Structure 1
Amino acid sequence: MSNTTTLPASEVVAGRAVEILAAIEADPEFPAFEAATLQYSEDWQCFTGFPTIERWNLDADKGPLLREGLRALALKAAVYELTGGDEKAAEVSLAVPVDEMTHAMIAQPQLLARIAARVGVQIIHQTDQEHTDYTTGDYTHAAYTAAWGEPPTRYWLTRTEVDRRLGILAIKYTSIGMGRSGREHSITFAAA
């Protein structure tokens, strides 16, 4: 986050985020945005995002994760607005699986841009500035809790827990020839 901007009170961010989310969901193009985002699921092949969810199941988890991703983007949009447009401050901490879902949403740029324009908000996400170091009790947790109650721990995994799970996944991936958690492999595809 920005070192120069004082973040608004989490309760203020929460109130504005609730309004933003309601406006996004009420937009006439929201059903198309939702359908396009969930259809993107065929391309969700990240080995270090969604698989950190215990017993991950695309069909069962994509709907709830969409809701969490929308809440995350609403929080970020609220911080951006309430800080007078500070993009760095708006990059509040997210849980890795939730951040992964925001990528699926941002992959619908035309729909998302039109919805955001009609709602009058700026959707913030820049990979080199994102923070996936979410932890219980941090600013994001406080704002989320004030807006919607306790975040579901199935998706809102702390960074410590994500790192622990990534260690387990790395061992399993390596055992089948997948190096660097899916960033390389030693599998050959020679004809049998």
Structure 2
Amino acid sequence: MTETELPAPTLVAEAAQQILTTLKADHEFGAFQAASLEYSEDWQCFTGFPVVDRWNLEADSAPLFEEGLRALALKAAVHALTGDEREAEIPIAVPVDEMTHAMLAQAQLLTRIADAHGISIIHQTDQEHTDYRAGGYTHECYRLAWGEPPARYWLDHEEVVRRRDVLAGLYESIGMGRSGREHQLDFAAVAG
């Protein structure tokens, strides 16, 4: 992906604002938001949300929902302007991307809302870019649409990598290998 092929950030910002307004005005948006935030019982990610300083599901879920929605609107705007799904996979910060997964899990609601308004929601894991950086294309588009993104959630890629290394060391210290992707616990042997 090269930035020269992408639409001007001003065009993306304008389109993203309209997309966000349209999504929020849909009669099913409230149900979509509630379902996305209810997903919290299944939020078991060890390397996405936990990179946020002093992460707290109850305090952070609503503001992070807004950021996830804005990220999806930016990607939908790039797609609307280019017609290219790969180009629309612009860099998104890891915690924000993790929130979009909770939103995408509400497939029926999100699909109905998007389809009703001719909006393409773009996300494919093998094509996504979580290498967001302040000053880059996504940052500029976001800034023009809504002002500065909250640095609490829109973490630069290098900082995410550093924090994931910290987490990996802590997880390893309690027997969780590969940042929670494996362990050697025998639950039958553990008194409960």
Bucket of the pairwise TM-score, normalised by the shorter protein: over 0.9
Assess if the C-alpha contact under 8 Å between 1:5 and 1:89 holds in 2. Answer: no
Q: Which residue of 2 aligns with 1:11?
A: 10
Assess if the C-alpha contact under 8 Å between 2:3 and 2:137 holds in 1. Answer: no
The 2-side partners of 1:99 and 1:34 are apart by: 16
The 1-side partners of 2:136 and 2:190 are apart by: 53
Give the counterpart letter for 1:60 in structure 2. A
Q: Which residue of 2 aligns with 1:92?
A: 90
Specify the SS of the correspondent of 1:128.
coil
Aligned alpha-carbon RMSD (Å)? 1.2
1:186 deviates by 2.0
Assess if the C-alpha contact under 8 Å between 1:5 and 1:86 holds in 2. Answer: no
How far does the alpha carbon of each residue in 1:102-130 deviate from its partner, in whole angstroms, 9 at most, with x for none?
Answer: 00000011100110011211000000000
Structure 2: segments with no counterpart, 5+ residues: none
The 2-side partners of 1:4 and 1:154 are apart by: 25
Assess if the C-alpha contact under 8 Å between 2:172 and 2:179 holds in 1. Answer: yes
Cα 1:38–1:180 change in 2 (3 A) is: same
Q: Does 1:28 align with 2:5?
A: no
| TM, length-normalised to structure 1 | 0.96
Q: Does 1:125 align with 2:123?
A: yes
Structure 1: 4+ residue segments shifted above 3 A: none
Identical residues among aligned pairs (%): 66
Q: Which residue of 1 aligns with 2:158?
A: 160
How far does the alpha carbon of each residue in 1:9-63 deviate from its partner, in whole angstroms, 9 at most, with x for none?
Answer: 0011000000000000000000000000000111000100000001000000000
Matches within 5 A, 1:4-153: 6-83=5-82, 85-153=83-151
The 1-side partners of 2:104 and 2:132 are apart by: 20
Cα 1:4–1:58 change in 2 (3 A) is: closer
Structure 1: segments with no counterpart, 5+ residues: none
How far does the alpha carbon of each residue in 1:76-135 deviate from its partner, in whole angstroms, 9 at most, with x for none?
Answer: 00000100x100000000000000000000001110011001121100000000000000
Specify the SS of the correspondent of 1:8.
coil
| TM, length-normalised to structure 2 | 0.96
Give the counterpart letter for 1:25 in structure 2. K
Assess if the C-alpha contact under 8 Å between 2:71 and 2:92 holds in 1. Answer: yes
Aligned length: 190
The 2-side partners of 1:101 and 1:119 are apart by: 22
